[in-house]
Chain A
């Protein structure tokens, strides 16, 4: 059982990406550095930020960052812990997201997930590799998860 959010949970997601390389090879390579920010339910607590370096068909680096430091990433997916929990639980319950819990559905209105980027052309990378990101998170189906923050 792995705790979400945690570096170990995201490392497992990365391990699953590599184990399912055939899926990502079919989609095509993705070269992008991006991050996930999980905002705590209570005030006063810092968010958890995890950064991913996607290269080719896999993820070369997954690391947790100091939330106070500048994130060196094309964009960051920012959302509350509750939003991430709902999305991941939905993926796990349905063997993939239902129609209202895909990454695009949750990000397009800028709420509940916001795609933060300092340069808009970098922000567009989210859509440019959209299928890769979706399949990456779909790997959560195989992670026994305890949600705790």
Chain B
């Protein structure tokens, strides 16, 4: 026991209570009003509780924003992300509420009964694609998890959103595993190049670099892959899976883009750091190249079979250009002039809007 709790125990033995906690220095008399949707995170950002500190590095404890506490008196959790510029964006509370409200269940919301036996090559391709997506979603959940525990609690909106992203990615790897095991196929191969291409994301040195690599670059690509999955889907179950996953992915992309846009506006000196992360991301794509396990399922599904892979290749080439265009357009939208520095060959041929 501490001196304080020991003294309190003695008081309790004498039948005395303390109640000093009722005299708070925090803002009192708050009556946040529910909006049309109910009582949202934005609705409770009233008065001092809604003041987002520019720098919270003096307070590294679990104490929530606006509570009555002496930071010097509390143990430090060693948070490394303590500035608004690094971890904040406007509308994060709204994005979080959307994430919570638009959760879906892979058990109940996918019409699994619409799965029918498919030609063997098509089933193989879809199962291999699902295996790949499962790998991707493991890291897409693990990496935000690693950074979530580094964020100061003054920025709880950011932490809350990352928690929803981790839940989304869990649901994605769940649904892709289910699809692989639901229609006469199974899980496929996991090549070294895919794993190496994912693993290095853990090694990125800063939160903005993680946002650039994972959210802006990676989730943007995966969003288009999910939309492509919906296009290639063979039944209503697959259409639903890919459309619902694309919704979530789009939210993750928005989160990363909004944060990076805020950082670029607040602290333009960090632009080069973001560019460096994207340099590495693009370089890795070129170094590792495409494996047959990644590429050929797309060609089979886009073409309509093993005997139509050339036709699939033409469509996939179009999609590759689209992925690069969308990536550069998002960079442009957040205030990052990336096209001149992008080393992906498709970038040279593009006109951005």
Question: Which residues of A from 85 to 117 have beta carbons under 8 Å from B?
Answer: 96, 99, 102, 104-105, 108-110
**Interface segment, one of B159-167, B206-214, B225-233:** B225-233
A134 at the interface (CB under 8 A from B): yes
Contact indicator A128/B247 (Cβ below 8 Å): yes
Among B98, B103, B258, chain A packs the most CB atoms within 10 A around the CB of B98
Q: What's the nearest-Cβ distance from chain A to residue B324, in Å?
A: 13
* Complex: chain A residue closest to B330, CB-CB: A120
Total number of A-B contacts with CB less than 8 angstroms?
A: 80
Among B94, B104, B247, chain A packs the most CB atoms within 10 A around the CB of B247
**Known interface pairs A28-B101, A28-B102, A121-B333. Does A127 touch B250 (Cβ–Cβ under 8 Å)?**
yes
A46 at the interface (CB under 8 A from B): no
A29 at the interface (CB under 8 A from B): yes
Tell me which residues across on chain B come within 8 A of A108, comparing CB atoms: 227-228, 230-231, 322
A61 at the interface (CB under 8 A from B): no
Q: Among A105, A118, A130, which residue has its beta carbon within 8 angstroms of that of B247?
A: A130
B257 at the interface (CB under 8 A from A): yes
Q: B97-112 toward A: CB 8 Å interface, digit per residue (1/0)?
A: 0100111100001000
A124 at the interface (CB under 8 A from B): yes
Tell me which residues across on chain A come within 8 A of B329, comparing CB atoms: 120, 123
B326 at the interface (CB under 8 A from A): yes
Q: B51-73 toward A: CB 8 Å interface, digit per residue (1/0)?
A: 00000000000000000000000
* Complex: chain B residue closest to A129, CB-CB: B247
Contact indicator A105/B98 (Cβ below 8 Å): no
Question: Measured between alpha carbons, how far is A120 from B258 in the docked complex, in Å?
Answer: 12
Question: Measured between alpha carbons, how far is A131 from B240 in the docked complex, in Å?
Answer: 8
B171 at the interface (CB under 8 A from A): no
Tell me which residues across on chain B come within 8 A of A131, comparing CB atoms: 240, 243-244, 247
B234 at the interface (CB under 8 A from A): yes
Contact indicator B251/A128 (Cβ below 8 Å): yes
Q: Among B37, B223, B231, B333, which residue has its beta carbon within 8 angstroms of that of A127?
A: B223
Q: What's the nearest-Cβ distance from chain B to residue A69, in Å?
A: 20
Q: Among B94, B103, B228, B330, which residue has its beta carbon within 8 angstroms of that of A28?
A: B103
A19 at the interface (CB under 8 A from B): no
Question: Measured between alpha carbons, how far is A131 from B247 in the docked complex, in Å?
Answer: 8
Contact indicator A128/B250 (Cβ below 8 Å): yes
Question: Which residues of A from 119 to 146 have beta carbons under 8 Å from B?
Answer: 119-121, 123-125, 127-131, 134
Tell me which residues across on chain B come within 8 A of A130, comparing CB atoms: 243, 246-247, 250
Q: Which residues of B contact A (CB under 8 A)?
A: 36-37, 94, 98, 101-104, 109, 223, 227-228, 230-231, 233-236, 239-240, 243-244, 246-247, 249-251, 253-254, 257-258, 318, 322, 326, 329-330, 332-334, 353
A-B contact pairs, 22 of them (CB 8 A): A27-B102, A28-B102, A29-B37, A55-B36, A56-B37, A99-B233, A99-B239, A104-B227, A104-B230, A104-B231, A105-B230, A105-B231, A108-B231, A118-B353, A121-B254, A121-B333, A127-B246, A127-B250, A128-B247, A130-B246, A130-B250, A131-B240
